[in-house]
């Protein structure tokens, strides 16, 4: 039996995965080379800070925090699941959950300290930026869903530009608040695009081979959905409890 050939989009996704994973690994292993630039950007940022910009960037920090994204993703995934878009629901939850795990693991392995002049007392390690990676994956998933319905090249391009703009704004906000180095944001962007591409590639391959139409998928989709939602709720509850005990710290 002949195996189905990869589509042009799937081949493109594979190339994107390879390029952005390679980029992330290069930034990770050669972070020391970015030190002078990181410091230069960190020292320059206070010259453009203002009350208005600070309020706006604090807003980005709240909206694209891990807790906020977990909550919003759960609500959207629940809606998709109820509307019988089970595969899309699990894609969103799996992509966001995987992103959170990868970012947490890399932070623990790298142990990179944050800048000392942050506008807020942010805790945890610096590399990579969880806000940036999370926004890339979350917005990218929503764009992927939109592209399934909107076939117009102009519309798709507009959605892509919007995702890029939002993710860039989030990344800038982390540098602006001096809670991350520039290389943290760069690495997170590369990691986010890699993971998003990998997740959507896996989704597309399973879809093209009819896995989502099988009885087996229908049988396991509900348990998988429940587990993902329980984990997301745990993250939200734990985060709120943590903030209650340490109100002065912004994660």
- In the predicted model, is pLDDT for residue 248 greater than 70? no
Nearest to 3 by CA among 199, 205, 213: 205
Angle (CA) 240-241-245 rounded to 5° is: 115
- Give domain status of residue 213, yes or no: yes
- Give domain status of residue 1, yes or no: no
- Give domain status of residue 30, yes or no: no
pLDDT tens-place string over residues 79-128: 888 888 888 888 898 899 888 888 888 988 888 888 888 777 777 788 99
- In the predicted model, is pLDDT for residue 41 greater than 90? yes
Banded model confidence at residue 249, pLDDT cuts 50, 70, 90: very low
What is the distance between the alpha carbons of residues 163 and 161, in angstroms, rounded to a whole number?
Answer: 5
- In the predicted model, is pLDDT for residue 247 greater than 50? no
- Give domain status of residue 23, yes or no: no
Q: What is the pTM of this model?
A: 0.86
What is the distance between the alpha carbons of residues 249 and 242, in angstroms, rounded to a whole number?
Answer: 9
Domain count of the chain? Answer: 1
- Give domain status of residue 99, yes or no: yes
Q: Would you give the distance in Å from CA 1 to the centre of its chain?
A: 38
Burial classification of residue 231, based on how many CB atoms lie within 10 Å of its CB (0-12 exposed, 13-18 middle, 19 or more buried): middle
Question: Of residues 214 and 138, which shows the higher confidence score?
Answer: 138
Which structural domain, as residue segments, surrounds residue 217? 50-245
Residue 188 confidence (pLDDT): 95
Banded model confidence at residue 245, pLDDT cuts 50, 70, 90: low
pLDDT tens-place string over residues 169-223: 999 999 999 999 999 999 999 999 999 999 999 988 888 787 777 777 777 777 7
- Give domain status of residue 9, yes or no: no
- Give domain status of residue 196, yes or no: yes
- Give domain status of residue 66, yes or no: yes
What is the distance between the alpha carbons of residues 10 and 13, in angstroms, rounded to a whole number?
Answer: 5
- In the predicted model, is pLDDT for residue 149 greater than 50? yes
Nearest to 95 by CA among 83, 103, 107: 103
H-helix segments, 30-152: 35-44, 51-63, 66-82, 86-110, 130-149
């Amino acid at each position: 039996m002949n195996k189905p050939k990869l589509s042009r989009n799937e081949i493109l996704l594979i190339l994107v995965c390879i390029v952005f994973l390679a980029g992330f690994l290069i930034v990770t292993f050669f972070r020391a080379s970015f030190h002078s630039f990181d410091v230069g950007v960190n020292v320059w940022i206070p010259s453009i800070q203002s009350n208005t910009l600070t309020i706006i960037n604090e807003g980005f920090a709240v909206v694209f925090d891990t807790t906020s994204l977990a909550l919003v993703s759960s609500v959207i995934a629940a809606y998709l699941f109820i509307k019988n878009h089970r595969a899309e629901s699990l894609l969103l939850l799996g992509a966001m959950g995987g992103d959170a795990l990868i970012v947490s693991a890399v932070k623990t392995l790298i142990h990179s300290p944050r800048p000392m002049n942050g506008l807020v007392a942010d805790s945890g390690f610096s590399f990579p930026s969880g806000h940036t990676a999370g926004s890339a994956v979350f917005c990218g998933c929503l764009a992927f869903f939109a592209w399934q319905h909107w076939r117009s090249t102009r519309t798709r391009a507009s959605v892509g530009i919007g995702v890029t703009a939002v993710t860039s704004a989030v990344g800038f906000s982390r540098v602006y608040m001096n809670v991350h180095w520039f290389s943290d944001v760069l690495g997170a962007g590369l990691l986010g695009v890699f993971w998003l591409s990998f997740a959507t590639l896996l989704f597309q391959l399973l879809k093209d081979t009819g896995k989502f139409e099988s009885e087996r998928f229908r049988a396991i989709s509900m348990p998988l959905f429940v587990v993902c939602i329980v984990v997301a709720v745990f993250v939200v509850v734990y985060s709120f409890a943590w903030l209650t005990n340490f109100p002065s710290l912004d994660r």
